[in-house]
Each structure stands twice: as structure tokens, then as C-alpha cells.
Amino acid sequence: MSLISLLVKELGKPKLHNIDLKYIVLKTCLVHYKLLREHEGTLSNRVYMLKKVLESAKLLKYPLLVDARTFTILNGHHRFHALVSLGYEYIPIFPVDYAEDYVEVYSLRKEFKVSKIEVIKRSLSKRKYSPRTSKHILVGVNLPSSNIKLESLKRGYFNTHCILDSII
């Protein structure tokens, strides 16, 4: 089964066609944290450490890597939890078209088989992988360093504004 076939089966065709990827893919955007789906767990000590780093720096260097169709977090689960626990409602994301070849996934653990389809299935079913199981890389695309001031995440805007609340 292809990734697109799985999404049509799980989400329905009309839901997929309401999202025009050309306007959002490969651009840093802000979304409300409730739109994002997780596919793996987190380590509480790592979340705690990131909270301290974020509080000290008062900025987020990189956005979360996210599938543009399902809003599944691909990389950045610990940053996500740290930001939410600090009270930030809007999260910077870098949406990608997960069905495309420029996004690759591999397992960081020998005991788990990781694939794009399995990542999406787990995010839709809430049956998460263990923490730090998958790693996503972009081939030929650089994840931009955004250096977003945390204060702008409370208000829901910053200079590369792209709010996606209305499409879900």
C-alpha cells in the first residue's frame, strides 16, 4: 500500500484534497499545537533539559519537521513537548510532502522496523514508537534555522507568518 492510499483510506479523499501543498510545503509556518500528531514517545529528562535551554535562550533555533498532509511530527517530539509544557500554543513547523522521495526515514533501533507508512499509521492510531526510534532526513533540502523568539509563539505570529489552523 502506498502512503497516499493509506491516507485516503484513513482520512478520506475529501480531507486530503482540501490541503493544497504548494502553499505550505517547505516554508516555516506556525500551527496550534493541538493540530500536531505524534508517532513516538519522549524521554522526560530530555524534555526537561530542552525546557531549560529554551527558557535560557528565549528562542527556538529549528522548527519541527512535519508531514503536511497529516501534521504528523517527523522530527522534534521533545521540542514539541518542551514548548507545550512551557505554555506555548503555537509551534513553528517545517511542512514536507512525506510521500515524496526527498524525505527519508530510518530506524535508530535495531528492534523496530520503521517505514513512512508505519510512521503515519502510528500517528493516526496513537500507538507510538518508543522514544528516539525514527530519524527523518531531507535529501537536497535544508531545514532552515529560524531562530524564532519564544514570545512570538504566545501571540501566534512572527515574520515568516503562515497560520494553518483553518485548513483542518
Q: At what angle do helices 116-125 and 3-11 cross, to 10 degrees?
A: 20
Q: Which CATH architecture has domain 3-167?
A: Alpha-Beta Complex (3.90)
pLDDT band, residue 165 (cuts 50/70/90): very low
More confident of the two residues 124 and 18:
124
pLDDT band, residue 47 (cuts 50/70/90): very high
pLDDT, residue 11, reads 66
DSSP string, 94-142: EEE-TTSTTEEEEESSTT----HHHHHHHHHHT-PBPTT-EEEEESS-P
Residues 84-139 pLDDT 10s: 999 998 999 999 989 889 899 999 998 888 999 999 999 988 789 999 999 999 99
The model's pTM is 0.81
HSE of 138, CA atoms in CB hemisphere, 13 A: 18
Q: Where are the domains of the chain?
A: 3-167
